[in-house]
Structure formats: C-alpha cells, structure tokens
C-alpha cells in the first residue's frame, strides 16, 4: 500500500486496533460460537442463538469524537475495527469476531432504466414518501435489465493497500458478491408507489404480474452476469444472511465445488416482501412468492422474510426450495408460528426493538423473551435484535437486554 494512502498518524492507530481485534478473535469463545452456529444452522439440537444489530443506534454508541484518525478513509476503517471491539467488550451475544479484513470486489449493478424518485422528509431521520415514476403500462417499456460491471484494477489496488496495512496482523480476504437477497416487491413499489401497488393488485393484477415477471427476469440476468464474471463468493461464514443470522455451516459449499468458481448452489440466498405484510396469503403467493421461489431455486440454502408478519403464510413459505431460515417479525404471532414451523426451518425471531427506548423494564423484557422460549421448545430458535434505530444514548440497554437473553437461554 502506498504510504500516502493512510497518514502515518492514522496508520499507527489502525494497526494497534487491528492487533486488539486479532487478540479477541483468537479467544477460545470465538471458536465455540462458530461451532454453535454450524450446529444451529443445521437444525441440530442446542440452545437458542442470540445476535444483536444496533443498526441506527450505532451513531449513539461510537461517537465521532471516539474516532481518532484524521483521514476520511482511515476513519471508516477505524469504525470497522472499533465496532468489533465494542461487541466483545459491551454486547455479549453470539457474534463471532473474526481476525480478518475483508476487501470487497468493486462490483457495480446498473440501473433499471428509470430513476427512482422519493420525496424526502424534513426531519434528519424521518421517513420519505414515494414519488412514482411508473405511471402506466406503457412505462414498462422504459425499463431495461441492469448491467453488472467489475473494476478489477481498482479491486487489485484495494487488496494491495489492505495487505500493506493489515497483512501481518489480520487475514486479508478478497470477497466478491457474498450476500444474495431478492427484493422484488420493493422494486415494484419503488417505481409504482406502495398505495398504488395495493390498488393494482385488485384493479389491474395483470399489470403487477407483467412487472414482476420483468423484475424476476432482470434479477436472473444480474445473477447470470455474476456467474459469467466469476464474482460469486462463498457465504458459509460470518456473512450476514437474510434479515438476520449468519452463514456458518458445513453443508455448503457442495462436495463437488470448485473454489475458483463459486456457483449459486454453493451459497445461501434470501428474499422478502415486507410491502405485502397486510395482504392475504393467496395474494402474497400470487404476486410475490411464485417469483421469489423461481429466483431462490438455484441456491443451496435459503431464508425468507423480514419485518412482515408471516404467521398466516408459513404453509406457503415452507414450499420455498431449500428453505432454512424464516423471519418471525416483532408483529408475528409467535405461538401460531412455532406450532406450524416446529423444526422445519430456523425460527428467526425478531424481538421488539422498542423495548430499548423509554423506560427499560428489565422484568418485562425477561417475561417477553421467556414466553417465546416456552412456545418454541420444538423449534430451532434464534433471537435477532435489530431495527434499533435509537437507544436514546443509553447503549448500556443493549448490554442489559443481551445479558437477560443469555441468562434465559443458558438456564
């Protein structure tokens, strides 16, 4: 790495932090957690797993003044390292701290032919509104399949820089496309608007199906470009999977895989349709699931769902090829879901993140988690605390919540 890329002051800070990450990664507990995830992802008996993703609340946990590097790129690297250290020192979930530095291939996915427009909120963290650009059936003709491009030269430079900075401390890894997730209904609503989407399902269902067919073919086209450009990478490791969970497993890749050319069948993938949370199972299957199943079929293992309530739709979700992880949202009926799901796939429970705002009621949280533990005794349960967009500058709440969950799952 050219010494000018990171100033000497920043370089010292980053290398010291990298050494601390290496120390943490070498602790026996990390190997133990990795083994627990492999067991869990294979649906084998064992305790429920716990993951915490502070997401938006990170800005209240690692503050700008906590970063000591001066360069913008160095500060981003510093945050990456400090947030791993923070997990180990403050959030006692089942996160595996790896002693690596991942360099992502510079992959770009082009547009669909129309520019998505949104009306921004006047508040810094407020919600935007849809500004539909797909106004009629004729506008479908303006769409085209996205083109994938790969900057090999820029990637090589990134890899060289990382090896120079961290190569003697962390394991520098080059990764291509490792997180595969399909969001077909998000594409439709981005172009058409959510309210109009719901009207279309009743008023012009063929329009919806024509558009969804086009988006499905477009996603298949993107995947084929990944394959042709040899950009796929294994995700049977700590790669984030679906809407929560990690990929550690020894069932993937398949025994006949070629490490120099990864196939979809060697990987995890996922899909979701949050926009259809309030539609019937029949409409969900007609306007989304049939297309998602087509996209997920080539993959070795799959996940489904995010924040949408799938309580009444599990019968259909379980028909997804190679389904292994299903999201049970904060709004789902956990009793009903547990009864239907049993141990056919991972019960990926998303507890209410709102418990981390206002008054933190430890006993209420304890009872809330215990109820889910009680009704999921025949399931492979994981607790994924996420969508925590604020903790009101009380990061200790994550520590308290996780300690309660760990006490309960470990008995």
pLDDT tens across 243-268, in order?
Answer: 999 999 999 999 999 999 999 999 99
What CATH number should be reported for the domain holding residue 401? 3.20.20.210
Which residue segment(s) compose the domain that 404 sits in? 3-410
Backbone angles phi, psi at 285, to 5 degrees: -65, -40
Q: Which residues contact 7 (CB under 8 A, 6 or more apart)?
A: 70, 71, 74
Q: What is the pLDDT of residue 378?
A: 97
Q: Which residues contact 360 (CB under 8 A, 6 or more apart)?
A: 394, 397, 400, 401
| Distance separating alpha carbons of residues 246 and 239, to the nearest angstrom | 6
**What number is the average pLDDT over the span 288-317?**
98
Among candidate residues 195, 197, 187, the one with its CA nearest the CA of residue 143:
187
Backbone angles phi, psi at 82, to 5 degrees: -65, -35
Contact 163/100 with Cβ under 8 angstroms?
no
Q: What is the pLDDT of residue 16?
A: 98
Beta strands 346-349 and 380-385 are parallel
13-58 residue pLDDT tens: 999 999 999 999 999 999 999 999 999 999 999 999 999 999 999 9
Residue 4 pLDDT > 70:
no
370-388 residue pLDDT tens: 999 999 999 999 999 999 9
Mean pLDDT, the chain, whole residue set: 96
197-209 residue pLDDT tens: 999 999 999 999 9
Strand partners, 149: 108
Q: What is the pLDDT of residue 1?
A: 39
Q: Which two tokens stand for residue 205?
A: 């269902």
Q: What is the pLDDT of residue 124?
A: 83
| Distance separating alpha carbons of residues 387 and 82, to the nearest angstrom | 21
51-96 residue pLDDT tens: 999 999 999 999 999 999 999 999 999 999 999 999 999 999 999 9
Contact 244/54 with Cβ under 8 angstroms?
no
Contact 94/129 with Cβ under 8 angstroms?
no
131-171 residue pLDDT tens: 999 999 999 999 999 999 999 999 999 999 999 999 999 99
Q: Which residue has the tokens 């084998």?
A: 44
* Domains in the chain, number: 1
325-380 residue pLDDT tens: 999 999 999 999 999 999 999 999 999 999 999 999 999 999 999 999 999 999 99
CB atoms within 10 A of CB 241: 29
Strand partners, 384: 51
| Distance separating alpha carbons of residues 240 and 180, to the nearest angstrom | 10
Give CA torsion, residues 94, 100, 106, 109, to 10 deg. -10
| Distance separating alpha carbons of residues 330 and 332, to the nearest angstrom | 6
CB atoms within 10 A of CB 70: 12
Report field, pTM of the whole predicted structure over 0.75: yes
Strand partners, 130: 118
């Amino acid at each position: 790495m050219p010494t000018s890329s990171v100033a000497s002051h920043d370089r010292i800070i980053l290398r010291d932090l990298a050494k601390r990450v290496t120390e943490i990664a070498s602790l026996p507990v990390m190997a133990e957690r990795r083994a627990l995830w492999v067991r869990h992802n294979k649906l084998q008996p064992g305790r429920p797993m716990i993951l915490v993703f502070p997401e938006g609340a990170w800005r209240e946990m690692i503050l700008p003044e906590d970063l000591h590097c001066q360069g913008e790129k160095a500060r981003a690297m510093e945050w990456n390292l400090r947030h791993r250290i923070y997990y180990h020192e403050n959030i006692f979930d089942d996160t595996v701290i790896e002693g690596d530095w991942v360099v992502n291939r510079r992959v770009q996915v082009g547009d669909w032919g129309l520019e998505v427009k949104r009306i921004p909120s006047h508040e810094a963290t407020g919600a935007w509104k849809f500004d539909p650009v797909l106004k009629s059936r004729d506008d479908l003709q303006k769409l085209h399949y996205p083109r994938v491009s790969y900057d090999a030269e820029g990637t090589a430079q990134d890899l060289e820089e990382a090896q120079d900075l961290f190569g003697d401390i962390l394991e520098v890894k080059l990764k291509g496309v490792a997180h595969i997730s399909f969001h077909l209904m998000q594409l439709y609503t981005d172009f058409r608007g959510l309210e109009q989407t719901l009207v279309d399902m009743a008023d012009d269902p063929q329009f919806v199906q024509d558009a969804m067919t086009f988006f499905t073919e477009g996603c298949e086209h993107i995947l084929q470009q990944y394959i042709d450009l040899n950009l796929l990478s294994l995700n049977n490791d700590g790669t984030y999977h679906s809407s929560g969970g990690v990929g550690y497993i020894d069932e993937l890749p398949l025994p006949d895989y070629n490490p120099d050319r990864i196939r979809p069948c060697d990987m995890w993938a996922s899909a979701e349709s949050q926009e259809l949370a309030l539609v019937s199972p029949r409409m969900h299957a007609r306007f989304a699931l049939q297309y998602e199943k087509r996209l997920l079929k080539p993959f070795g293992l799959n996940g489904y769902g995010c924040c949408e309530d799938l309580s009444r739709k599990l019968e259909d979700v379980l028909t997804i090829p190679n389904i292994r992880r299903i999201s049970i949202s904060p709004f789902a009926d956990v009793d009903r879901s547990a009864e239907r799901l049993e141990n056919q796939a991972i019960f990926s429970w998303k507890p209410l993140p709102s418990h981390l705002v206002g008054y933190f009621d430890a006993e209420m949280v304890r009872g809330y988690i215990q109820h889910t533990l009680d009704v999921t005794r025949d399931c492979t349960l994981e607790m994924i605390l996420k969508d925590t967009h604020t903790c009101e500058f009380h990061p200790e709440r994550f520590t308290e919540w996780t300690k309660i969950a760990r006490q309960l799952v470990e008995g």
